[in-house]
Amino acid sequence: MAPGLPSGRGVPFGIFAITAVSVDATPPGPSELEKSSSAPGTSPPTGKPKSRGPSGSFRMYAAGLAVAIILMIAAGLVLDEYYHHSSSSSSDEKVLAAVGWAAPSLGVYQFADIPFAVSSPENLTGSFITSNTITVYVMNDSDFNYLVNKNVILGYAYTTGQVWNGNITFTVPTGNWNLVFFDSNKYGSSGVSVIQAVVLTPA
């Protein structure tokens, strides 16, 4: 599995700008009142003005606000589904060696190993770098035990070959396995460090 993802998550909602249209509520000026009072058969308005319903501008503002809220809710649902799917996918990943995992100094023909088991075929991937050349092997328990007891490599299922840095890419069959970092350089010791997490994912 890859290095742990950061806990928690932000939901980057878009920003919806809603511009309210201003309503000119200035009462009629004196000239208009004079005109209406001077018209024949009319008298100046008296009493309190009648209340009016919502203006067209207010209705536009309310409709825009409702649309923005609906869009924000929809965006939230989409992002929640995306993150839920991403967490489910990452839960299928198993990390054997995180970035920074290292064996600082392996003597000639010494090794570091990571045992693991798979119940169904899985893809093994990762990258490493060394201070001298090494060889990475994937061995079953039988071949690994032979190496431990005899210090001789009898067999393996996969190898990167002797490299300064390399990529691990192998589909591992069902069974018990060992990932072995072996100092195959007879001229000196070597350190090794993982620069891309070594992980197992469903094949």
**Domain containing 136: what range?**
94-202
**Number of compact structural domains in the chain:** 2
Both 55 and 154 in one domain: the answer is no
Both 46 and 98 in one domain: the answer is no
Those residues with Cβ within 8 angstroms of residue 174's Cβ, 6 or more apart along the chain or in another chain: 118, 119, 120, 121
Both 166 and 115 in one domain: the answer is yes
pLDDT for 65 beyond 50: yes
Domain presence at residue 119: yes
pLDDT value of position 133 = 93
Both 42 and 79 in one domain: the answer is yes
Domain presence at residue 128: yes
Both 128 and 174 in one domain: the answer is yes
Average pLDDT of the chain is: 75
Both 46 and 134 in one domain: the answer is no
Both 106 and 78 in one domain: the answer is no
Per DSSP, helices labelled H in 39-178 are: 56-90, 141-150
Amino acid letter at 89? S
pTM of the prediction?
0.57
Domain presence at residue 46: yes
What value does the mean pLDDT take over residues 144-163? 96
Q: Which tokens in the block code for residue 61?
A: 């503002």
pLDDT value of position 112 = 97
Give dist(CA 200, CA 3) in Å, integer: 12
pLDDT for 1 beyond 50: no
Domain presence at residue 194: yes
Give the end of a domain, one of 47, 64, 90.
90
Question: For the segment 5-43, what is each residue's pLDDT rounded down to a tens digit?
Answer: 344 444 443 333 334 444 444 454 544 444 444 445 555
CA distances from 49 to 2, 27, 46, 69 (A): 71, 11, 8, 35
Give dist(CA 175, CA 158) in Å, integer: 14
pLDDT for 137 beyond 90: yes
Question: For the segment 71-103, what is each residue's pLDDT rounded down to a tens digit?
Answer: 666 555 545 554 444 444 456 899 999 999 999
